[in-house]
Amino acid sequence: MKIHLRTVRLELAEPLRISRSTMTARDAVWLGVEHEGVTGYGEAVSSVYYGLDADTLVRLISAVPLERFADPESALRALPCGGVPAAVTAAVESALLDLLGKRDGVPVHRLVGTPTSFPVPTARTIGITSLAHAAAEARRLAASGFEILKVKAGSSDSEDDVERVRVIRDAAPRMRLLLDPNGAWSVAEAERLLPRFAALGVEAVEQPLTPGDPDALGALAEKSPLPVIADEDAVSLADVRRLAGRVQGVNVKLAKCGGVHAALRIAEAIEGSGTDLMLGCLTASTLGLAPAVHLADRARWTDLDGHLLLAHDPWHGIGGADGFVQASTRPGLGVEEVAAHEDVA
C-alpha cells in the first residue's frame, strides 16, 4: 500500500471562543492510502490542547509503516499504532476503513455492524460571545432546523454565562440545550452554578470541573441537578472504565480515543452502567467528522458539528446544515472532496 499526505488550512467562519482559548483556524493533514487502484482517506487536525501541530502530524503519520501490509484488513488488525497519539491512529484507521469499504462496495457503518443509516440530530456550538450575537445565532439555527445547541461557558464572569443561556433560551424556547465550560470551574463554582442552569432548562453539562481529578467529577455527578458528561477526563478506555456508572455520560471523540474501533470498545464498556455515550468532535472538515457519523446510532447525544463551523468545508457527504447528520450509503466513508488543494507536505 502507498500513502500520500496533504496539509491544508481550515478557516473558521467566525472566531470560536471557549474558556481556555479562542480559535480562528486550524491545520488539517489528509492521509490517502492507495491499494490496487483504490484510495481511502482520513484526516487529523492540529490541536494546541493535545500538543499536535501540522508538522508533527505529518511526521508521525509518515512513520506508520503501512507499506509493510499486504491489504487494508491486515493493517487494520495491527492498529492501534504503538506509541503515537490517538489522533494519528484515528486518521490511519479512517483511511483504511474508507479504502476497505470502497473496495468492497460497502459503507463504513455496515463494516462496523449497523445495517442502515438514518438522520441524527446534532448539537450546534455557540461560543462565548455577546448576548446579542448568541440570541441571533439561536434564532437563526432554530429556523434552520437545529434541535440542540451546545453553549460554551467558563467566561471570567459567570453571570455572563448565565445570561447567555437565558437569552438563548428566550430566543429559541424549544431548543434542547447542552452546556460546556471545558473544565473551567472549581467544585464550589459548579455547585453554585449548576442549579441555576438547571432552572433554565439545560439538559446536561460537559466537563464542568478542571480535568485531572475524576473522583471529584464523579462526586459532583452524584449530586448534580444536571447530568454530567465527562470529556477531558475521559480520554482512554481506562479513563472511561474508572468513570462508568459514576457520571451520566462520556464524550467520545475519535481523535482523542483512537478511532472507530476504540470508540466501539468504549461503548461496550459503558453498556448497562448508567453512563451514556456522547459522540463529539474537534473542529474539522467533513472528512474528519465522517467516521463518527457512521457510529451515530450508538449515542444518546450527538455533537458532530465541527465541519459546520468552517468558512469553507472542502469535503461534503454527511449533511448537517439543517441540524441533522447522516452517514452516506455510498461505499466507504461516502464523502467527496469539493475542490482540489495544493500539496504542501
pLDDT, one tens digit per residue, over 86-140 is 999 999 999 999 999 999 999 999 999 999 999 999 999 999 999 999 999 999 9
Q: Which three cell numbers stand for residue 59?
A: 511526521
At residue 344, the pLDDT reads: 37
Residue 50: count other Cβ atoms within 10 Å of its Cβ.
15
Give the span between the Cα atoms of 115 and 9, in whole angstroms: 35
The phi and psi torsions of 309 (rounded to 5 degrees) equal -90, -5
Within 172-327, residue ranges assigned H as helices are 187-199, 214-223, 237-243, 254-257, 260-270, 286-293
Give the span between the Cα atoms of 334 and 316, in whole angstroms: 9
| Overall pTM surpassing 0.75 (yes/no) | yes
Residue 237: count other Cβ atoms within 10 Å of its Cβ.
16
How far is C-alpha 50 from the geometric centre of its chain's CA atoms?
14
Within the chain, residue ranges assigned H as helices are 54-62, 72-77, 86-104, 108-111, 131-144, 158-171, 187-199, 214-223, 237-243, 254-257, 260-270, 286-293
Give the span between the Cα atoms of 255 and 27, in whole angstroms: 14
Place of cell 488539517: 28
Residue 98 identity (one-letter amino acid)? D
Specify which residues 252 forms β-bridges with: 279
Instruction: Find the mean pLDDT for residues 36-58.
Output: 96
* Cis peptide bond prior to 80, omega within 30° of 0: yes
CA atoms within 13 A on the CB side of 204: 23
Strand, coil or helix: 21: coil
At residue 80, the pLDDT reads: 84
Q: Which three cell numbers stand for residue 73?
A: 484488513
Pick from 208, 215, 218: which is nearest to 184 by CA?
Answer: 208
At residue 345, the pLDDT reads: 39
Question: Any idea which of 38-42, 161-165, 328-332, 339-343 has the lowest mean pLDDT?
Answer: 339-343
Instruction: Find the mean pLDDT for residues 46-69.
Output: 94
